[in-house]
Structure 1
């Protein structure tokens, strides 16, 4: 495991790419031991060729999605292989459109017998999320580092403190304010061995896939019991004037 901390990701504060990701939304996923093409297949993505760099990835997203269809939750994902701890990993990046990104059922499948780590932002709201999956199970997840969920919500606490997170509301726990997004990137590297840099993302050759939106749940209708909803009120015997 590397000794990286949030300070190693200070570049995100001045990065044009990262500023766009936070404003428009993004999801960055790392999956161990599954090739990019196989990852896209698990995501039921329709192959869309390749492109080089994040600018081209954003252009393809704009080309393939209808900008007037605000309800369309499909998205374009770009994937490429990168070395990391324990072998090759696949990095999957989705930029823009609110960062809809990876779905939980994909991550459960992709992490079976391995590991998947995800962090994301929905774009300007702001809502930022982190998920760690191991052997098909969501182990630790959080929006705020002090409020964690998953099957083992506290398993990463020592590492989280080490990279720079404050895990209590006591401000004396840390001597300086830490960029939580930089800390999330550092935590991701601790779990994957993959150092994410602006150059890595901008120069990569992405295999592209258009991931369709989730099918709508079948509408079964609603049955209303009118008698139960509107009980009769007894106002007593009526009287009339002759």
Structure 2
């Protein structure tokens, strides 16, 4: 199961007023995400139940249920977004909008594979992002390095340095940047605002390219147009829908 934990605040300390950090309400976060409101409830169990119901109803759909709540953090209240989304995560356009006047720090983890993703947005821009701690990118990829060293990330090129569990370390880094401490009690006792975030519309496309080079250096390259794909799909559907004729031993040969 994939989970994403997203933390948002209002304007940063440059606003010269700590209370300005109390900016983005739960309902506003859901609005920016284009979510359809689904009411409120207390406790993360209710969010998980909503997620399971929605997954069963739309298994192949990339829409998801998000829960938002208000939590204490650095210099004021923050909005916490918790979602179980099968890998969809917080889309970059959401994070750019939510951090336009402040900061957004996200962590997502795939329980079925050792994948822990971290993103830090500020003033609408991606500051630092990584899956592997030494492979960072963004406008300021090295800014959190001192914090990462304190926490215990392995930042050696060969991966032989001392390191804490990556999942734990990423959560600790998110806490350092937000002041939001995630505890079992916080998640159990919070009042969540639920929203159903719709699937992203599919992008228009005209062709795709197959470009494969095998172990012997042999290259296969082919461009396939949308018209070719649609024609092949139509033929496959027609063949699948055609009646099946079974000829008996006394039937004339076709």
**Match of 2:44?**
54
CA contact (8 A) 1:98 1:121 kept: no
3-state SS of paired residue (1:118) = strand
Please name the residue that 2:103 is paired with: 115
Gaps of 5+ in 1: 1-23, 225-242
Equivalent of 2:88 in 100, 107, 128: 100
In the alignment, does 2:175 pair up with 1:189?
Answer: yes
Q: CA deviation at 1:121?
A: 1.6
For the residue of structure 2 that corresponds to 1:131, the secondary structure is strand
* Alignment match of 2:72 (pick from 72, 75, 83): 83
**2:30 pairs with 1:40:** yes
The answer to whether the 8 A contact 1:52-1:202 is kept is: yes
Given candidates 191, 194, 204, the residue that maps to 1:218 is 204
CA RMSD of aligned residues (A): 1.8
Q: 1:58 to 1:171 in 2, by over 3 A?
A: closer
Matching residue of 1:72 = 61
In the alignment, what sits opposite 2:129? 141
1:174-206 residue CA offsets vs partner (Å, 9 max, x unmatched): 3xx411111111111110011111111122110
State the Cα distance separating 1:223 from its structure 2 match: 7.5
- Specify the alignment match of 1:198 in structure 2: 184
Q: Distance in 1 between matches of 2:180 and 2:30?
A: 20
With the length of structure 1 as denominator, give the TM-score of the two structures.
0.76
- Normalising by structure 2, report the TM-score: 0.73
Partner-residue secondary structure (3-state), 1:48: strand
Cα distance, 1:211–1:100 mapped onto 2, change above 3 Å = same
Query: Structure 1 residues 166, 80: CA separation in 2 closer, same or farther (over 3 Å shift)?
Result: same
The answer as to whether partners of 2:4 and 2:109 remain within 8 angstroms in 1 is: yes
Q: Equivalent residue of 2:118, what SS?
A: strand
| Cα separation, 1, equivalents of 2:226 and 2:186 | 55
Picking from 124, 131, 135, the partner of 2:119 is 131
Provide the aligned length of Structure 1 versus Structure 2: 197
